[in-house]
């Protein structure tokens, strides 16, 4: 059964642009995958914490020799990894915070980029272990950082996430970015602002089906 892992990272609830666009992607994905399964992961309600020295030690301890305490330390990571493993595709809503991804998304990344699970060292070089999956990133930014803006260099989200997913073996990565969302704080009409992005996201979902 086709499975989509739908992840959100914006703290802004119903007013979030990235959540609206990730939901739009999911609705269109469902149309082209009748009977498909959607796993939902809201990173703002997942109680994720920063990794610690003990966590790293547990991750690098061979599975068969891990203590009960080490297994408990990795339990949340195991849960998140199971969701990734079950999915053929990831659709992730991403807000721009301080020119980069929200901290909860970084916490998730630290939990799922795990030696022996999503990457391994082969002849001394890292190799991504996830194969045949794709990721679609639905991004909202207050300013505009697209081609021709002259501010492309300030968008750390795209190069970072492309590199990150490539590192764990997901090389089929697509982005849709709704730039200029800060206009919504200054009276721009939400429906009018969202409409072209909804259309573009629907087309992207169809193209990736």
Ligand X SMILES: Cc1cc2nc3c(=O)[nH]c(=O)nc-3n(C[C@H](O)[C@H](O)[C@H](O)COP(=O)(O)O)c2cc1C
Is 77 among the residues that bind ligand X (CB under 6 A)? no
Helix/strand/coil for 184: helix
Q: For residue 189, give every residue at least 6 positions away whose Cβ sits within 8 Å of its Cβ, in sequence order, or none.
A: none
Q: Judged by CB, which is closer to ligand X: 157, or 205?
A: 157
CB under 8 Å to 178, separation ≥6 — which residues? 17, 18, 21, 138, 139, 140, 141, 193, 194, 197
Smallest separation, CB 190 to ligand X (Å): 11
Question: Which part of the chain contacts ligand X (CB under 6 A), choosing from 15-23, 72-80, 112-120, 168-176?
Answer: 15-23
- Closest distance to ligand X from the beta carbon of 194 (Å): 11
Binding flag, residue 101, ligand X (CB under 6 A): no
CB of 104 to ligand X, least distance (A): 11
CB of 186 to ligand X, least distance (A): 11
Binds ligand X by CB under 6 A, chosen from 36, 142, 166, 169: 142
Residue 193 interacting with ligand X (CB under 6 A): no
Q: Which of 2, 12, 174, 200 binds ligand X (CB under 6 A)?
A: 12
Residue 24 binds ligand X, judged by CB under 6 A: no
Alpha-helical segments (H) within the chain: 17-32, 53-59, 68-73, 75-86, 103-112, 157-167, 190-207
CB closer to ligand X out of 82 and 188: 188
Q: Which residue blocks in 42-142 are alpha helix, DSSP H?
A: 53-59, 68-73, 75-86, 103-112
Binding of ligand X at residue 106 (CB under 6 A)? no
Q: CA-to-CA distance for 59 and 20, rounded, in angstroms? A: 35
Our CA dihedral for 24, 26, 28, 30, rounded to 10 degrees, sits at: -150
**Shortest approach of ligand X to residue 208 CB, angstroms?**
21
Q: How far apart are CA 21 and CA 7, in angstroms?
A: 11
Stretch in the footprint of ligand X (CB under 6 A) among 26-34, 40-48, 56-64, 94-102: 94-102
Burial bucket for residue 157 (CB in 10 Å: 0-12, 13-18, 19+): buried
Query: In the bound complex, which residue of the shown chain has the CB atom lying closest to ligand X?
Result: 142
Count of C-beta atoms within a 10 Å radius of residue 165: 24
**Counting contacts by CB under 6 A, is residue 143 touching ligand X?**
yes
**Contacting residues toward ligand X, per CB under 6 A:** 10, 12, 16-19, 95-99, 140-143, 181-182
């Amino acid at each position: 059964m086709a499975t989509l892992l739908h992840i959100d990272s914006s703290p802004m609830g119903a007013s979030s642009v990235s959540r609206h666009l990730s939901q739009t992607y999911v609705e269109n994905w469902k149309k082209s995958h009748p009977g498909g399964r959607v796993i939902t992961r809201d990173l703002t309600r997942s109680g994720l914490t920063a990794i610690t020295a003990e966590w790293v030690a547990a991750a690098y301890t061979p599975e068969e020799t891990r203590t009960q305490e080490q297994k408990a330390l990795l339990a949340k990571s195991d849960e998140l990894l199971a969701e990734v493993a079950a999915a053929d595709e990831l659709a992730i809503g991403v807000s721009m915070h301080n020119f980069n991804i929200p901290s909860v998304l970084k916490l998730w990344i630290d939990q799922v980029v795990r030696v022996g699970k999503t990457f391994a060292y082969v002849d001394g070089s890292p190799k991504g272990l996830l194969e045949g999956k794709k990721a679609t990133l639905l991004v909202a930014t207050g300013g505009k950082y697209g081609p021709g803006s002259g501010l492309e260099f300030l968008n750390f989200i795209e190069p970072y996430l492309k590199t990150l997913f490539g590192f764990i073996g997901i090389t089929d990565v697509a982005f849709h970015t709704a730039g200029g969302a800060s206009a919504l704080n200054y009276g721009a009409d939400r429906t009018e602002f969202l409409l072209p992005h909804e259309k573009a996201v629907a087309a992207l979902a169809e193209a990736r089906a």
